[in-house]
Structure formats: structure tokens, C-alpha cells
Amino acid sequence: MFVLALRSIRQRPGRFLATLLSAFLGTAIIMTFNSMHDTAGQPGVDAVSSDTLATSAGVVGGYGTLLVFFAVASTLTVNVRQRAAELELLRCSGATPAQIKRMVVGEAVAVALVGAALAIGPAMLGGRVLLEMFQDGGQVARSVEYSFGPIALASGVSITLLAAAGAAFLAVRRVTRRRRERAGARRFLAYGALAAGAAGVCSTFLFSATDEMLMAPAAQGTIMLSVGFALLSPRLLKGLLDRLALSGASGWLAVRNLRQRAAELAGILVSLIMFTAVSTATITMQAVESDAVAASGLVKSVDAKNLETLNLTVVGIVTVFVCVMLVNSLYAATTYRSREFGQQRLAGATPGQVLGVVGAEGAILTVAGVFFGTLAGLAGVVPFTVVRTDGVIPDQFLGTWLAMAAVAAAVTLGTSLFTARRVLRTPAVLAVVQVA
């Protein structure tokens, strides 16, 4: 089966591009930050430098792992879903579920391995730049030499491979088992995440205004809340759609399409909610913190500086990953609808009306995702601001929120409309007979 896996990759390298890209980016980030462990572990590094390096490696490395798993899982799920027909064919030709599983997992591991190998070079460069950043900021002594060692290499490769294998396993199991959604477990997880998020956000009030850790519970709470909302998103979306009446044929179709496809769109909503929540909350809180420090006339400590660097890095990573995930899943989902678009056109829809449907769907998704993301983000920002300053909603919030919502809308609408336009180039009569 592994030979078949390799062959199937060679025939269609394009389909694995998204998985390769997320494996590559993920490994690069994990290796970059984990090489700080290697650097800190060298003999003769002083305690402060070593501390800075280890913290940054720990925090961002942890984030990175989570994100690699999410991103690879999302791209692989899309990939496996698109190939449902091919997998069905294999099953009909006598492949056992275990064989199909081995093939898909084998493909994923092979692609992840290539991604990880490609990431080594950029990660070494990135690590060097990161170390210089720390040194320029005075957080790490000038004498510390960069080192890219076993920790970076082993963690990067193993985490990516594990994530790929695990994600592929889960994705193919969902397909071969023929959709038996365990709604109960999902809801339990969702409420668990929401409860944990609420607890984290509320625990902000237990800290004092000048605690260095003040931002942590709020940020973690925001993340947990957005995970909870994301898990509940299919139901939330359905609730929203039942109350939504759009005028015009395009809007009418869009609402009905989304109602039926709510479960499939969960992946896109996850990305949108996480992106809005994490980026808005982190950037706003960091701005509040910096202003508060400036107002008090104090000079930032090394730890505070570390935290700022980390925060901005985390936001950067989240943004890049979520964009990759969003673009990939929207591109795949829209390409996959070629036949459906053809059917709409044969039923009398002009290309403009089809684009109208896609646009309306994208707009509804963006609004829903940004709305719940904002909720989760505000849940973190407000307690932090109340404790840190006298206000409730900081001045910086609106600007940040607007910028992030604009990015979310641009990526969502841009990808779906651009892809739909390309898909519409196929004549309708051909589109309905082609197997996507």
C-alpha cells in the first residue's frame, strides 16, 4: 500500500501542495523556536539569556505544535473528502479499510517528511534572526552563539510526522466509517472548552494590575473560548441561518446551501473564529500593556520585552497558519462545487448569479466567524483592561478589530470568489458530467 501511496502522490502533486505547505511552515516554526533550546543548552550561557530562550521556545513551540496539528488536519481532511470517489473505487476493487488507511496515512507521512526536510534550511536562518532579535533587545547576551541541534531537529520532524499521521488517520476513519458523527462527544468537548475559557478569563480578576502573568489567563481563555465556539459553530450557524431571510435568488440559494452544508463548513468557521479572537485579543492587550507601562514611566523589564516579542510572534504565526488553512479549505471546497455550479447554470443562473451565491455565502460565513471571534476576543480583552487600567474597552480595540475583520473578510471572499470565477470557465454542460 505504501508503494501505491507514493505513486498516487507522484501522479497528483498539486493536491498535496496545501499539506506540504502547512507541514513546511509548521516544521519551520517549531524548529526555529526549539533551536533556542539547543542554543540555551550550550555551555557558558548565562542564566538570564538561557531563561529567555527557554521560555520563548516553550511557549511558541507549544503553540506551533497545536497549529501544525490543526493545519495539517484541515488540509488532509479536505484532501480525503475530495478523494471519496477514489477511495470508494479502491474499496470496490478489494482494498480493506485497513489498507486504505495505510495508504492515506502513508501519503501524509511521506508529504510531511518532505515538508520537514525542506524546512530545515529556513528554520536555521529563522533561528539566527530570532536570536539576533533577542540580542538587539538586550534580552540575550551578545556572547551567545547560535546552535541548531538535536532538539530542534528531532522535535520538528517528530511533531510534524505525528501530526500528519494522526490527522490522516482521523480523516480517513471519518470517511471509511461513513459519517457517524458523535454529536454527544463533540458537544461535551465544546462545553468543556467554553467552561475552561470562561474560567481562564474570569481568573484574570484574581491577579493584580502589575502582575507579569496578567495577560496569560486572558489570552488562554480567549483561545479556549474560540475553540468552544468553533466546535459549536455548525449549530450556531444553523441557528443564525434559520432566522436569516435574504432577498434575491442568489441570497435565497446561499442560505439554503449553507443550511445543508453547515457541518462541512465548520472547518472554515474554526479558522475564522480563531483568527479573529486570537489576533484581536493579543494585539489589543499588548497595546494596552505597552501604553500602561509607558504611562507609569517605567522601563520595560526583560521579561516584559520577551512577552511582547512572543505575543507578536504568536499572532504572526496564527495569522499565517489560519490564512493557509482558510485559503486551502475554501479553494478546495469551491473547486469541489464545479458540478453544483453547473447545475445552477443549467437551471437558469447567470455566471453573475452563481458568483452572487458564492459571495453571499462567504459574507454570511465571515460575519458569523468574526462575530463569534469578537465575542471570544472581547471576553479576554475586557477583564484584562479592567484589571490593568480604569477602562473597560480600550481605545485600541476598535482599530485592531477593524483591521482583523477586514483581513478575514478579504481572505474569505477573495479566495471563494477568485476560485469560483476560475471554476465557472468550464462550460456548464461539461461541469455537470465531470467528476470533481
Interface with other proteins by CB under 8 A: which residues? 249, 252-253, 256-257, 259-261, 340, 342-353, 427-429, 432-433
DSSP state of 95: -
Residues 169, 101: contact at Cβ < 8 Å?
yes
| Residue number with CB closer to other proteins (164 or 175) | 175
Q: How far is the CB of 413 from other proteins (least distance, A)?
A: 20
Which H helix or E strand runs over 388? helix 351-388
- Nearest Cα neighbor of 370 from 261, 234, 274, 305 is 274
Residues 257, 362: contact at Cβ < 8 Å?
no
| Residue number with CB closer to other proteins (207 or 341) | 341
| Residue number with CB closer to other proteins (162 or 363) | 363
CA-angle at 404, arms to 402 and 409, nearest 5°: 95
| Residue number with CB closer to other proteins (125 or 430) | 430
What are the backbone angles phi and psi of residue 244, rounded to the nearest 5°?
-100, 125
Taking only Cα atoms into account, the Rg of the chain, rounded to an integer number of angstroms, comes to: 23
Q: How far is the CB of 369 from other proteins (least distance, A)?
A: 20
Measure Cα distances from 66 to 34, 97, 258, 340 in Å: 14, 28, 28, 35
Residues 30, 159: contact at Cβ < 8 Å?
yes
Q: How far is the CB of 104 from other proteins (least distance, A)?
A: 25
| Residue number with CB closer to other proteins (285 or 349) | 349
| Residue number with CB closer to other proteins (184 or 348) | 348
Sign of torsion over alpha carbons 132, 133, 134, 140: positive
Q: How far is the CB of 179 from other proteins (least distance, A)?
A: 13
Q: How far is the CB of 229 from other proteins (least distance, A)?
A: 25
Residues 243, 375: contact at Cβ < 8 Å?
no
Q: How far is the CB of 19 from other proteins (least distance, A)?
A: 27
| Residue number with CB closer to other proteins (47 or 347) | 347
Q: How far is the CB of 344 from other proteins (least distance, A)?
A: 7
The C-alpha cell at 222 is 480567549
| Residue number with CB closer to other proteins (324 or 349) | 349
Measure Cα distances from 203 to 220, 286, 380 in Å: 11, 18, 10
Measure Cα distances from 247 to 395, 397, 424 in Å: 37, 33, 23
Q: How far is the CB of 255 from other proteins (least distance, A)?
A: 10
Which H helix or E strand runs over 153? helix 150-176
